[in-house]
């Protein structure tokens, strides 16, 4: 590493591994980073990614089978490119604290190690990794410890920490492991944090933000997608007893025909189930199941329904005109919930750009 040298070309470009529907690529583009390509093995991401991430190539590939030299040739990449960012936001079910089928997600546990293979080959100026906090708690098993050791041995300055995205312009409490590595100078790069008040649910959804009141089962065929799941009659009745602005299932827990059998005598657990968001607090983590009232605190603060697709998307900080294309509302919800919040990605990109321009 040559500290203090001047770089004539200040442009930055990135390849986004495990790109999904494009949350990270979207945010990086907003920060002024050119996205060369997004790579994902899921064909269901392709149309959404290509529609929104203009100028980028979508490569459908399994990272376990993709070879470094093939990617180099396909994208005309150079090794040791100071202006190249390699981004790896791998699916992370295996390391998540959320109950998942570990056998089903077994393959995902080695994705970080596969990404490391490309970093070692290309040795880019910058590396970004975003994942669940579990990869840090299990840093030896996840391969993170060895990866950080290699980066530091190669002269990279490595920042890694668990961040709450609410500190970075995202109206939800979403804790994520983030690593930013830089071999261009001696500066550790941190995502750019908010200095003022944090955003809340009220700042992005509701009638004042252009979300008209709707009922369960509403289907919005426009690109705005203010569509919401339907509810059974008993669930509709349950929600009438859930207090507005932050209430939970305890509102109907003592009404025999409404109480869920699995919660009889268990009032103190899983209180977020059938829970409403608070207007003046950030949302909880927007998961792939935000479309369902029984999978977390995903009930609208005052309307008796779940969040709509577009409400989930704006809570994830996707632009209001971002187009999600999939065969079902459930598939669209997965694209939204699995994404890196674009605003958080932008803050990472802005920090890298600021550091790079200072050289």
Annotate 76-126 with DSSP letters as a single string: T--TT-TTEEEEE----GGG-SS---TTTTGGGGGHHHHHHHHHHHH--SE
CA dist., res. 92 & res. 310, Å (int): 24
What is the predicted pLDDT for the residue at 207?
A: 98
- Each residue's pLDDT tens digit, 298-331: 999 999 999 999 999 999 999 999 999 999 999 9
Residue-range domain boundaries for the chain: 13-194+341-357
* 94 band by pLDDT with thresholds 50, 70 and 90: very low
Element (H, E) at 38: strand 34-40
User: Parallel, antiparallel, or unpaired: how do β-strands 126-131 and 84-88 relate?
Assistant: parallel
What is the predicted pLDDT for the residue at 51?
A: 98
What is the predicted pLDDT for the residue at 59?
A: 98
What is the predicted pLDDT for the residue at 259?
A: 84
Query: Mean of the per-residue pLDDT values for the chain?
Result: 91
CA dist., res. 66 & res. 118, Å (int): 10
Check residues 139 and 7 and name the one with the higher pLDDT. Answer: 139
Q: Which of 36, 20, 11 is nearest to 342 (CA)?
A: 20
- Please, which residues have CB within 8 angstroms of residue 58's CB and are 6 or more apart in sequence? 19, 37, 38, 39, 40, 45, 46, 49, 50
- Please, which residues have CB within 8 angstroms of residue 255's CB and are 6 or more apart in sequence? 241
Q: Which letter, b or e, does each residue of 341-352 get, where b requires 16 or more Cβ atoms within 10 Å of its Cβ?
A: bbbbbbbbbbbb
CA dist., res. 278 & res. 89, Å (int): 29
Q: Which residues pair with 15 in a beta bridge?
A: 37, 86
Residue 242 has pLDDT above 60, yes or no: yes
Residue 92 appears among annotated catalytic residues: yes
Check residues 86 and 133 and name the one with the higher pLDDT. Answer: 86
CA atoms within 13 A on the CB side of 141: 10
Q: Which of 44, 26, 43 is nearest to 35 (CA)?
A: 26
Tally the residues of the chain: 359
Residue 107 has pLDDT above 70, yes or no: no
Q: What is this structure's pTM?
A: 0.93
Evaluate whether 350 touches 124 at the Cβ level (below 8 Å): no
CA dist., res. 338 & res. 246, Å (int): 24
Residue 154 has pLDDT above 50, yes or no: yes
Q: Which segment of 103-112, 126-135, 146-155, 276-285 scores lowest on mean pLDDT?
A: 103-112
Residue of 92, 235, 262, 269 marked active site: 92
- Classify residue 21 by its DSSP letter: T
Q: Does domain 13-194+341-357 have CATH number 3.30.1490.20?
A: no
> What is the per-residue DSSP string for 147-177?
HHHHHHHTT-EEEEEEEEGGGGT-SB--EEE
What is the predicted pLDDT for the residue at 104?
A: 44
- Each residue's pLDDT tens digit, 175-220: 999 999 999 999 999 999 999 999 999 999 999 999 999 999 999 9
- Please, which residues have CB within 8 angstroms of residue 9's CB and are 6 or more apart in sequence? 82, 83
CA dist., res. 202 & res. 246, Å (int): 13
Residue 90 has pLDDT above 80, yes or no: yes
CA dist., res. 156 & res. 172, Å (int): 31
């Amino acid at each position: 590493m040559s500290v203090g040298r001047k770089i004539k070309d200040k442009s930055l470009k990135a390849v986004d591994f495990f790109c999904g529907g494009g949350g990270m690529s979207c945010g990086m583009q907003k920060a002024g980073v050119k996205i060369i390509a997004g790579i994902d093995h899921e064909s269901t991401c392709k149309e959404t990614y290509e529609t929104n991430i203009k100028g980028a190539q979508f490569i459908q590939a399994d990272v376990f089978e993709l070879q470094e030299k093939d990617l180099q040739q396909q994208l005309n990449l150079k090794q040791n490119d100071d202006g190249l960012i390699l981004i790896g936001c791998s699916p992370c079910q295996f390391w998540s604290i959320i109950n998942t089928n570990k056998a089903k997600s077994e393959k995902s546990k080695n994705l970080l190690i596969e990404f490391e293979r490309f970093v070692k080959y290309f040795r880019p100026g910058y590396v970004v990794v975003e994942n669940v906090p579990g990869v840090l708690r299990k840093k030896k098993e996840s391969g993170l410890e060895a990866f950080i050791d290699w980066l530091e041995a190669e002269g990279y300055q490595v920042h890694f920490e668990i961040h709450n995205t609410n500190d970075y312009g995202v109206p939800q409490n979403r804790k994520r492991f983030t690593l930013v590595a830089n071999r261009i100078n001696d500066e550790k790069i941190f995502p750019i944090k908010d200095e003022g008040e944090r955003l809340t649910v009220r700042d992005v959804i509701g009638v004042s933000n252009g979300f008209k009141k709707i009922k369960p089962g509403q289907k919005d065929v426009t690109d705005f997608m203010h569509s919401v799941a339907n509810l059974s009659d008993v669930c509709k009745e349950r929600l009438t007893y859930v207090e507005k602005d932050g209430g939970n299932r305890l509102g109907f827990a003592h009404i025999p025909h409404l109480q869920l059998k699995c919660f009889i005598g268990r009032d103190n657990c899983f209180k977020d189930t059938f829970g409403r968001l608070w207007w003046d607090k950030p949302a909880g983590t927007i998961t792939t199941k935000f479309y369902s009232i029984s999978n977390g605190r995903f009930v609208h603060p005052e309307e008796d329904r779940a969040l709509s697709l577009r409400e989930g998307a704006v809570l994830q900080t996707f632009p209001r005109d971002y187009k999600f294309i999939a065969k079902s509302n459930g598939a669209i919800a997965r694209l939204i919930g699995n994404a890196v919040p674009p605003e958080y990605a932008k803050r990472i990109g802005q920090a890298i750009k600021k550091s790079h321009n200072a050289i």
